[in-house]
Structure 1
Amino acid sequence: MGSVCSKPPVNDDNPSADPPTSDPPAPVPALPTPPPPADESIRPAAEKPASTAAAPSPPPPTPADLPSSRASAAGAEQPAPPPAADKPGAAPPPPPPATLGVSLRFLQQVWEEMWEEMSQASADVPPDPLASTAAVCTRWLIPRTAARRVSYARLAWEDNLLDDKGHPIARQATAFVSHAWGESFHNLVSALGVGDTSASHYFYVDVFCINQHAMAEVRSDKDQHAAVLEELTSCLRGCGRVVAAFTPWRTPALLARAWCLYELALAYEEGLPVDAVLPAKQHHDFFSALAADPDQVMGVLGRIDVKRATATYESDRQLIFARVEAHEGFNAVNRNVTAALRGWVIRTCCNYAAEMEAEADKALGGAALSEGLSVQQVMGMCNQAARLLQWHGHFEDAQRLYEKALRLCRSREAQGDGAAAAERVEVMVNLAGVLSQRGLRAEAIELLQTARAEQEAEGIPNVRLYAITLSNLSEPLIQSGDLPAAAAVLERCLAVLDGAAAAAAPAQPTAAEDAARLASTTATTLYNLAIIRMQQGDDAAAVRLHERALAIREPLLGASHPHVAVSLSGLAVALSKVGRASEAVGYAERAIEIREMTLGPAHPETLQAYNGLGMVYVAMPDDKEAAKAIAPLQKALEGLRMVEHSVGPVGTARVCMRKAELLTRLGGDDAKAEMMALWKEAADKLEAALGPRDSQVAMCLSKYAETLHALGRLKEAEDIYRKVLLIVDTSQNPMERGMGGAKVRMGLAEVLWSVGGERTQEAIAVAEEALQLRLGIVGEGHPIIEATRAVVEGYRASAAAMAA
């Protein structure tokens, strides 16, 4: 701590900490005032001379001629070079590659030199641990390259300079670094040092790899300025991959800089991998947040807007914007940048999940775990990793990892670990959620009922977990058609949440965070209750509930959060049901935009958003407007078919049914073959996924039979209706046996009546059965009773007339 050159280690990413103190250093001459740095504004791939009329470059200097504390060619005193500049190699290298990069160790040495110079500059002013890259350019780089007027990478290549480890400072770049010059250089170097620090890596860091002395001339020449963008593409290709300095991760500086966004968009267009890097401490914070709430992290990416990006030089900003407007468009750039960074998040999640699954297999097999890990830690990390896979739509992989986490919990319980029981309940709830998403409703309900009973037996120690349990339980109940049970569960959930909110102690340190979590769970409960009300036919109540959920989520999570998209999509469908389809289109389109930006175009939830837009158009009374549903429904259908292996076929089947219904409505001989294929696909998928006796299978087959009837294929329609009757008449749900059975009988009666002849009396008998079933459910006076009786009496009258 007493060293004159005391400095924080280069991998310490906590620049706010007080730096080590030292004895006051001896006074040193002040640095000369250098030309202004170029900031991140110009990033061409190739060197540019300061002027086409400049005198020929002098021959490469000997070590004694390199910039030092002696006077420079301009007569000004220059600071000493870094230690790396004192180690020239024995022989000059060949001509430089097209894209030079610098080594990590060189960057670390630069920071060490900067810290030392700042420490010695003034006894009264402490060194700045947040010194920016721009400051490094001004104080360190410009003086050291003034005599040669080239980039430092070119200087190091020509003189074959080595770092203090004996490795070349400059070689062919293996990664392009996208970063903001106004951010901490120390954090940048620390971030690049996280992970693989092989000496074979060379980073294209523009401040060192571009001739900073030529920037004013480049910017003043229109042709040279425009050529920068083409050179940037070549540079990215030459590097082969991009590393983005994602600091600070909650508000990354590079996402507000025009050059950085354009670099990332170009990388995505070129198909180059993009990896974000963070200093060690920020990396840990980021990953903890990612495991706790992936949507929160993706919400950061949802705020990308290149139109609001800035650049140090307005001419640079105008150059980029002109190119964007002439080619991709701003929305395309936003999507590409988001996609590039989302790809990094997904790879990070999948890699982490693979590592945790390997540790779980060790624990379950009795093998030794990696150093520093306990079985409890592995269980917790498996639970987190499974949530990440579930968030990305890898439901099958998530289920497998949850099941291993559950086995680890039970193993710990068997060994007397008292904490394992509560952790097991959480894993059970999470596992049930992914089972429900995969269409495995019975298994999900069983797990959630068990988790609910255990929590109630313990006095509900964790209100939010209990509320999530109830909210999750409602989903498979809704899917199975047991709407009264699902509604009762959700009403109980809302009561518990309201009680917890009223009992909250505002003075607690975590009060705000706890309140936000409860509010988020309340919004989810309101959303699920809205789904029930819509299925019960109370569409106006569904609209109100969706509006309440959206009013909670948007200010709590931000306008671009994926959960906001869920509410927007639900509200859009509910509005379309109450005759406000034109208004609903905007909500549905916004939901798609958010999900594409945050989750990606192929994510199951994004595909369901397209399905929601299709539902809105289908609700429009005008056939021309309704026909607009075909495109979003087809997009959803094609995407869901691609991910069936993970999410199951139920979602695909529902979209098949919706598109088939639309084609039936629109008519046309050309669509008949596709229509029938869609109904068959839907029925086959539902039967395979849910079993031949499921209520959704019955509903699909009924609609299939309606279409066959409309096409005049009466024998096929009758056979399917009779198959459906076998399902509904043996259902355990009284409503399904009653109202569902009556509806199927009315459809069958219409088919028999269309056959005519001797079948008309059978049609009348089947319609009378339907009337009696409906009377048993809703009683006299209900409009549906009057309508059904009118049909029966019409059949009788017509039959009597034909007999006469």
Structure 2
Amino acid sequence: MTNRRATKRRPAGLISMLLAVVFVAGSAGRAGAQGERQLTPEQSKAVTESLALMTQSSAAQREGKIDAAIELRERAQAIVEKNFGPGDMLTGLNLPLLAFLYSRKGDHARAEALYLRAVGVLEKLHGPEHPEVSNTLLTLAAIYNSTEQFAKAEAVSARALAIREKALGAEHEAVAEALFFLSTAYLRRGEYGRAEPLLKRALLIQEKAFGAEDFRVALTLNNLAHLHSDKGDYAQAEVLFLRTVALFEKLFGPESTELATPLNSLAVLYRERGEYLRAEPLFKRGLAIVEKALGPEAEDTAIALNSLALLYSDRGDDERALPLFRRALAIREKVLG
């Protein structure tokens, strides 16, 4: 049986996780503080070797070689712990990035354990209210949101927000990111009254800090659109989805896979309102984008096929719907087994 809910893209998925990691990655520049110590020759060698392995891991990650990237970071971590112990600054740098790799691989349990350990290390290094701690808390929130552990996501996001507001001020751009993650936990739980003011506050901060055409603004607009759609406020959702589509197209290009997500969301909105003639070209465009970019047998292609098939099914055109359903099912069986 086809799952209709699967065709409605949920907000704040992998893109939101990557946003959180941007802040963590920024700590790489502080690894040089290691050199301020009086290091033994063996420790100096360990620093050089571990940083080289981390650099190689990053290169492997960019090439999509996640298993290789993990193996390199694990080796780097072993060197650091052997020479400096488990609570060193290099551990605070490496663990969140290693955790992110495991989350990319789908091993969320391992990722969570590493993030929690990283939080403990960073708290000892910098104190429990340091912005560095909030960075890893938000990457942990992304894991919890993606695995539907919304109470945990709320707790770590709220803590990260409190840390950033105290350390950086209520209008700082980093506060907007924490607001975004906290609102996502509420939105995914259907607590629209709690999510909406957070998203609106984040949007105001982002537009002031980055301008109205920044990708962070686009992500927040997308979540606001989902909120209004889920509430049944389709008119406001349409306005926001149209703005999101235009912004994604300008930022990422007319054939980008990033654009396919808001296109699908707008199309779903039209389908749910019975506006099939407006929905059809959007579903077809989204399908063409993912099929060209990812291939005819990719999982996202199956999702796009299913969405278009549902449109035809809803308007009683089974002759066009059934072949699409069958093709989507065949792709999923091949991909998932």
Conservation of the 8 A alpha-carbon contact between 1:523 and 1:550: no
Matched, 1:635 2:201: yes
Letter in 1 for 2:163: I
Of 136, 140, 145, 1:567 maps to: 136
> Aligned equivalents of 1:749 and 1:554: distance in 2?
51
Given candidates 66, 71, 74, the residue that maps to 1:495 is 74
Tell me what 1:551 maps to.
120
Give the counterpart letter for 1:651 in structure 2.
R
* Secondary structure of 2:200 counterpart: helix
Q: Per the alignment, in what secondary structure is the counterpart of residue 602 of structure 1?
A: coil
Who is 1:602 aligned against? Answer: 171
Counterpart-to-counterpart distance in 1, 2:60 and 2:208: 28
Q: Percent identity?
A: 22
Aligned-pair Cα RMSD in Å? 3.3
Unaligned ranges ≥5, structure 1? 1-389, 396-428, 431-458, 507-511, 780-804
Q: Secondary structure at the match of 1:749?
A: helix
| Partner residue, 1:212 | none
State yes or no: 1:747 paired with 2:307: yes
The reply on whether 1:585 has 2:154 as its aligned counterpart is yes
Inter-partner Cα distance in structure 1 for 2:244 and 2:98: 30
SS in 1 for 2:254: coil
Question: What residue is the counterpart of 1:697 in the other structure?
Answer: 259
Instruction: Tell me whether 1:644 sits opposite 2:202 in the alignment.
Output: no
Residue 772 in 1 paired to residue 330 in 2? Answer: yes
The whole-number CA distance in structure 1 between the counterparts of 2:263 and 2:76 is 40
- Aligned-pair distance for 1:576? 4.5
- Summarize deviations over 1:24-56 as a string: whole Å, max 9, x none: xxxxxxxxxxxxxxxxxxxxxxxxxxxxxxxxx
Structure 1 position 571, deviation (Å): 2.6
Task: Tell me the distance in 1 between the aligned counterparts of 2:244 and 2:58.
Answer: 26
Corresponding residue to 1:521 among 69, 82, 93: 93
CA distance in 2 between counterparts of 1:659 and 1:652 reads 11
Q: In proportion to residue count, which structure has more helix?
A: 2
Return the letter of the residue paired with 1:754: D
> Which residues of 2 match residues 148-227 of structure 1 at below 5 A?
none
Shift of the 631–531 alpha-carbon distance from structure 1 to 2, 3 Å rule, reads farther
Output the CA distance in 2 between the equivalents of 1:564 and 1:666: 34
Residue type of the alignment partner of 2:123: E
SS at match of 2:292: coil
The answer for unaligned runs of 5 or more in structure 2 is: 1-21, 30-44
Aligned residue among 221, 226, 231 for 1:661? 226
In 2, Cα distance between equivalents of 1:645 and 1:463:
41
Distance 2:60 2:199 in 1: 27
User: Which residue in the other structure is 1:761 paired with?
Assistant: 319
Residue aligning to 2:34:
none
Change (3 A) 1:527 1:761: same
Residues in 2 aligned to 1:645 and 1:588: alpha-carbon distance in whole angstroms: 25
CA, structure 1 residues 542+498, in 2 after alignment: closer, same or farther (shift >3 Å)? closer
Quick one: which of 462, 467, 482 aligns to 2:48?
A: 462
Mapped contact 2:138–2:181 kept (Cα < 8 A):
yes
Alignment of 1:255-270 (within 5 A): none
Pair 576,729 (structure 1): closer, same or farther in 2 beyond 3 Å:
closer
The whole-number CA distance in structure 2 between the counterparts of 1:724 and 1:695 is 8
Distance 1:492 1:693, change over 3 A: farther
Q: Is the contact made by 2:123 and 2:133 (CA closer than 8 Å) also made in structure 1?
A: yes
Q: In the comparison of the two structures, how many residue pairs are matched?
A: 298
CA contact (8 A) 1:617 1:628 kept: yes
Task: Please give the per-residue CA displacement for 1:472-526, whole angstroms capped at 9, x wherever unaligned.
Answer: 6588x5xxxx8xx26335403422322422553x6xxxxx8x9733112223313
Over 3 Å counting, the alpha-carbon distance change for 1:460 and 1:750 in structure 2 is farther
Distance 2:50 2:201 in 1: 37
For residues 134-145 of structure 1, the aligned pairs below 5 Å read: none
Q: 1:516 to 1:460 in 2, by over 3 A?
A: closer
Q: CA deviation at 1:770?
A: 1.2
1:194-228 Cα deviation digits (max 9, x unpaired) = xxxxxxxxxxxxxxxxxxxxxxxxxxxxxxxxxxx
For the 8 Å contact 1:571–1:587, the answer to whether it is kept is yes
Inter-partner Cα distance in structure 1 for 2:269 and 2:59: 34
**Is the Cα–Cα contact under 8 Å of residues 464 and 521 in structure 1 kept in the other structure?**
no
User: What are the equivalent positions in structure 2 for 1:288-307 lying under 5 Å apart?
Assistant: none
Letter in structure 2 aligned against 1:715: L
C-alpha separation in 2, matches of 1:738 and 1:547: 33
Instruction: Summarize the alignment of residues 48-87 of structure 1 with structure 2, pairs less than 5 Å apart.
Output: none
1:407-418 superposed matches below 5 A? none
What does residue 246 of structure 2 align with? 684
Q: Could you say if the C-alpha distance between residues 629 and 561 of structure 1 is closer, same or farther in structure 2, counting changes exceeding 3 Å?
A: same
SS of the aligned residue for 1:730 comes to: helix
Query: How far does residue 532 in structure 1 lie from its aligned partner after superposition?
Result: 2.1
Letter in 2 for 1:641: E
SS at match of 2:298: helix
- Structure 2 letter corresponding to 1:761: E
1:390-409 map, 5 Å: none
Query: Residues 566 and 591 of structure 1 are in contact (CA less than 8 Å); yes or no, is this contact kept in structure 2?
Result: yes
**Rg bigger for which structure?**
1
Query: Is residue 698–residue 727 contact of structure 1 (8 Å, CA) maintained in 2?
Result: yes
Query: Whole-Å Cα distance in 2 between the matches of residues 658 and 569 of structure 1?
Result: 17
Give the drift of 1:653: 1.5
Distance 1:486 1:662, change over 3 A: farther
The offset of 1:706, in angstroms, is: 1.3
Deviations 1:92-144 (A, max 9, x none): xxxxxxxxxxxxxxxxxxxxxxxxxxxxxxxxxxxxxxxxxxxxxxxxxxxxx
Q: Please give the TM-score of this superposition, normalised by the length of structure 1.
A: 0.34
